[in-house]
Amino acid sequence: MSTVLIFDTETTGVIEPVLIEAAGIFISGSPFDKQDNTFVQRYNPEKTISYAAMATHHILDEDLIKCPKSAEFILDPQVKYLVGHNIDFDWKVIGKPDVKRIDTLAMARAIYPELDSHTLVALSYAMCEPNKRPKLRETIKTAHSALTDVKLCLDILRHIIKLKDLHTWPDIYAFSEESRIPKVMSFGKYKGVAISEVPQDYKNWLKKQPDIDECLLKVL
């Protein structure tokens, strides 16, 4: 089994999210090869899906009644690299397994800071050749099913690997880690200010706050 998994989840919502669908593509050989080792599975979260989440993925509570319980999901123990768009969210949903995370969202933001959106769909259009956009549009009509999102994520990863001339998974992971480190405050009274220019007393206060982003904490 490959040690690299392109991964995505659908959940009950953003507040205390519980897994309701998991999908992935196991990478064997080069990521540019055709990848056929895929999986998708739905789960019963034993809690109600929020309407906001339902409006995004269109999975209904009654669709999941006979599915295995969410707690039964187990990540393949041979997976070394978990790749996804905002992968920290999916990683937390499945219980924070001991794997290295590669975040296509962070890498795309680092490469294309000028884009008005860095969602999977927006990036897919931005990276697609104009003559291929009609076909892409047909694929995207099913976006926000976990397996479709995984396929879009793989295409974005391929684009990044080619653009940055990355050749190994350790190189890709290193670039992801570098990209995850914020350089500008994204919230609060100093939003938009370079972190290097934020007053030290404010940095000290931030470091003491609960649930602070681990990458921001590294910078502080």
Greatest Cα pair distance, the chain, in angstroms, is 54
User: Is 2's pLDDT higher than 70?
Assistant: no
**3-state DSSP call for residue 10?**
strand
CATH of domain 4-180: 3.30.420.10
Q: Where in the chain is the domain with CATH 3.30.420.10?
A: 4-180
In this prediction the pTM is 0.87
Instruction: Provide mean pLDDT across the span 18-42.
Output: 94
Q: Phi then psi for 114, rounded to 5 degrees?
A: -80, -15
**3-state DSSP call for residue 44?**
strand
Instruction: Provide mean pLDDT across the span 25-52.
Output: 94
pLDDT 10s digits, 128-160: 889 999 988 988 876 668 899 999 999 999 999
Report in angstroms the alpha-carbon separations of 113 from 26, 116, 131, 183, 190.
29, 8, 24, 12, 19
Q: Which of 151, 154, 130, 131 is nearest to 140 (CA)?
A: 151
Residue 36 CB neighbour total at 10 angstroms: 8
Instruction: Provide mean pLDDT across the span 55-81.
Output: 96
Average pLDDT, the chain: 92
Instruction: Provide mean pLDDT across the span 37-43.
Output: 96
At residue 143, the pLDDT reads 65
| Burial (Cβ within 10 Å: 0-12, 13-18, ≥19) of residue 214 | exposed
pLDDT 10s digits, 77-134: 999 999 999 999 999 999 999 999 999 999 999 999 888 899 999 999 999 889 999 9
User: Is 167's pLDDT higher than 60?
Assistant: yes
Which tokens is 72 given?
């039964």
